[in-house]
Structure 1
Amino acid sequence: MARRLRLHRQGELHHHVRHPQAYPELGNCLYFDLAYKTHAVLYELPNNRLNWIWYINGAEPVLPGSSVTMKVSDAMVEEMREEAKRVWGPELARLMRETVEPFVNVIYDAGEPTPRLSWAGGRVALVGDAAHATTPHGLRSTNMSVVDARVLGRCLARYCREPCARSRARALAEYEAARLPVVAAQVLHARRLGRLKQGLVVGSHGEVFDARTATEEEVSQLR
């Protein structure tokens, strides 16, 4: 069961302005902008396009069907543009203002990491998002999926030269032993990063990260 929701406002913009002062390495990296209880991501796409994402804590909206992507009303767009001028620097606020059709993706905090990666006596293996549904704040979901497939392939090659249920079970047990501790730690790490960047409570003592007053030691938690 999801415990908390984040609105993920995203837009894609064809643009030739490079903003060399504010974002000198745009095209070679992703930029994170932190503000009070929110953060944004900006990066370049192929064909001279820019993509921005603005994470906002919010109440759960009414979603059409099973999709977590929804269009936004003109009133929501105007409110977003006004808020962007108040929260972000002029370059990022301009990009948001000039994006024609921003949309919203709803992101939930995942539950606890899955307790297993193999099921049904070694007949079913989980890889990718099925094995480790995670928020995007760690930027590692795709990489983890690739490693899952590679490790699973090696385990199957090691034990399954002959079709045998016992061999398959051993292969999946080794895959689970190798990957489960790693992916579980990454799921929790991504959740913690998201809560820090969004100014939400982290830990059992009610700690809240505040980008306006954070010390160098506190900022190091975001790395």
Structure 2
Amino acid sequence: MKKFFQTIAMLFFSVAMIGCVEINEDYDLSKINKEEITIGNEFIAPIAKITTSIADMHWGLEDEIPTEDDNAQKEAAGSAVVEFTKSYTINGAIDQSVIEMLVANGGLYFLAEVENYSPIFFEADVQFNDTKGDAVCSPINKLLIAEGANEAATTSRVEIEITAQDIQAIGSAHSVQISLRTNLFEYTPKSEDKIVVNLKAKKTGGLSISL
């Protein structure tokens, strides 16, 4: 009898663990697109597709997600701020020779495409780190306006430019972390809503970046 209950308990535990794995995998961005991307001459290559649900968003100062019927809380909380953050490994390192190449070619560019929502204003932080994950320079902060943004659009495109001046302060970097933030003004979230961000890299040269 004891063995029977142990077996039942193990079955429940296994089912629970499977459920947890499935839930975690939905948000495990490291498992999305492990293909290595080498950026070529004037070539735009997809690096990652990041999906966030309403449950992942930080809503104003309230730390709670308003529902469709909770307009009072929505007004009290203000605009939702959604932030997408992803780290990429630079194969090798950005050393002085690579910095000189990037400077000569005018900089490094990342292009973000936002689906299912069309915010106009963005803020981006780009942080370059060493092999231990420590910053090699101050975060590069950019205030951005989406290309061709309008109220009728269903997507937004915004280019994050890392200028030659920015690059000269990088030092020896082995990874880059990009955070993209935007306010969801007048946005009423629903449980099934998803906002998808396609983050791409565009540059001249041959710097190789992978997840």
Shorter-chain TM-score tier? under 0.3
Q: Whose relative contact order is higher, 1 or 2, with alpha carbons under 8 Å and at least 6 apart?
A: 2
Greater strand proportion: 2
TM-score, normalised relative to structure 2: 0.22
TM-score, normalised relative to structure 1: 0.21
Greater helix proportion: 1
